[in-house]
Amino acid sequence: MDLAPVTAPATASSLLVDSYGRTIRDLRVSITDRCNYKCVYCRTGAVGAQYPELGNAEYLRLIRQFVALGITKVRLTGGEPLLRAGLLELVRELAQLRTLEGQPLDLALTTNGHLLAELAAPLKQAGLNRVTVSMDAVEAETFERITRVPGSFAAVLGGIRAALAAGLTPLKVNCVLLRGFNDAQIEPFVHFGSREGVVVRFIEFMPLDESRLWTPQMVVPLREVVERIHRTLPLEELAPREPGETARRYALPGGGEIGIVAPVSQAFCGACSRIRLTSDGKIRTCLFSQIEHDLYGRMRAGATDEELRGYIRGTAEKKEPRHRIGEPDFLAPTRSMVHIGG
């Protein structure tokens, strides 16, 4: 396969820009919708993978088209991306690509961390820059009640430590907060972050669960998280947010920081720079898109690289202005988070 770096001068006309003037620089690719956890707020526990996976060469060809259109950051996700056969080869190939500016991609991966202890060092060697680990409690019993996998807490903790040792940093640990379920973990999580040397980020729960149990009352909003931590640890907001940055960042006394991602209470759609590719090769221009765009179908039908890029460009233009959570006409998407790629 020809994997020559994609390099060309970056010009405004070669970038992906939507009809609201937002430049798309960040691609999230789901490489499987299989997952070895059944987190209670994400999956029903009764439904497995629902969508096909592409081959590595197919993902690569599609990703190269995005990179040729100005994408600088690629995040592999799922499902659980560490379950994917051939992951190291895929990362190795992606690490060879160059942005329009001639730089290596910012190459990241989001994982539940269960298999990370073994894979962290090989992933780093393959060219991965960073990982984000999802972890919704710092107490083993609560954590395993969430994941429904015995022994998961020790495995993920081992994964986080291995990733730090391998240099997959800065390492972010994402915690989705659900009221009355794991919100007692907020303060212990802040201490966990300082102790382990990771950036903890609290995420507001979004209506993307397989069970469709989401209600606004379940969301623990940013303001409440800040107020709670501030009672014992004065927080100072780090401003301004970088373009496309989803988290509001706060400095902790004595060093370190936490982040809060608040898509529900303080949506950041106006600065969104993301586009998604599902495991079966569909483009989603928003987590909450009602429509998917069959890029893989075009490729299967024999489209040239130029035609694929034209299709991506036309699709990106149609990116939704905002997600509409909380509006009367909000409709949850047909795919839930695990099948889209978080």
Question: Which spans of this chain sit near ligand SAM (rule: CB under 6 A)?
Answer: 35, 42, 77-78, 80, 110-112, 134, 174, 176, 203, 205-206, 208-209, 337-338, 342
Distance CA 152, CA 112 (A): 9
* CA distances in angstroms from 205 to 111, 145, 160, 228, listed in the order given: 18, 17, 23, 18
Q: How many CB atoms lie within 10 A of CB 172?
A: 19
Q: How far is the CB of 272 from ligand SAM (least distance, A)?
A: 15
Would you say 153 or 311 has its CB closer to ligand SAM? Answer: 153
Q: How far is the CB of 337 from ligand SAM (least distance, A)?
A: 4
Q: Which helix (H) or strand (E) holds 73?
A: strand 73-77
* CA distances in angstroms from 324 to 27, 207, 291, listed in the order given: 22, 11, 15
Would you say 78 or 193 has its CB closer to ligand SAM? Answer: 78
Would you say 276 or 298 has its CB closer to ligand SAM? Answer: 276
Tokens representing residue 81 in the block: 């991306």
The HSE-up count of residue 261 (CA atoms within 13 Å, CB side) is 19
* CA distances in angstroms from 125 to 94, 129, 130, 167, 263, listed in the order given: 13, 9, 12, 10, 34
Q: Which of 112, 111, 105 is nearest to 129 (CA)?
A: 105
Q: How far is the CB of 338 from ligand SAM (least distance, A)?
A: 5
Q: How far is the CB of 230 from ligand SAM (least distance, A)?
A: 23
Pairing of strands 282-284, 274-277: antiparallel
User: Do residues 107 and 91 touch, judged by C-beta distance below 8 A?
Assistant: yes
Would you say 38 or 61 has its CB closer to ligand SAM? Answer: 38
Would you say 259 or 342 has its CB closer to ligand SAM? Answer: 342
Distance CA 254, CA 147 (A): 33
Tokens representing residue 154 in the block: 């020790």
Tell me the residue number closest to ligand SAM, measured at CB. 342
Q: Give the DSSP letter of residue 23.
A: E
Block residue for tokens 């928003």: 286
Pairing of strands 236-238, 247-251: antiparallel
Q: How far is the CB of 8 from ligand SAM (least distance, A)?
A: 32
Q: How far is the CB of 35 from ligand SAM (least distance, A)?
A: 5
Q: How far is the CB of 321 from ligand SAM (least distance, A)?
A: 21
Would you say 92 or 114 has its CB closer to ligand SAM? Answer: 114
Would you say 112 or 278 has its CB closer to ligand SAM? Answer: 112
Q: Which amino acid is residue 23, in one-letter code?
A: T
Q: How far is the CB of 264 from ligand SAM (least distance, A)?
A: 9
Would you say 64 or 276 has its CB closer to ligand SAM? Answer: 276
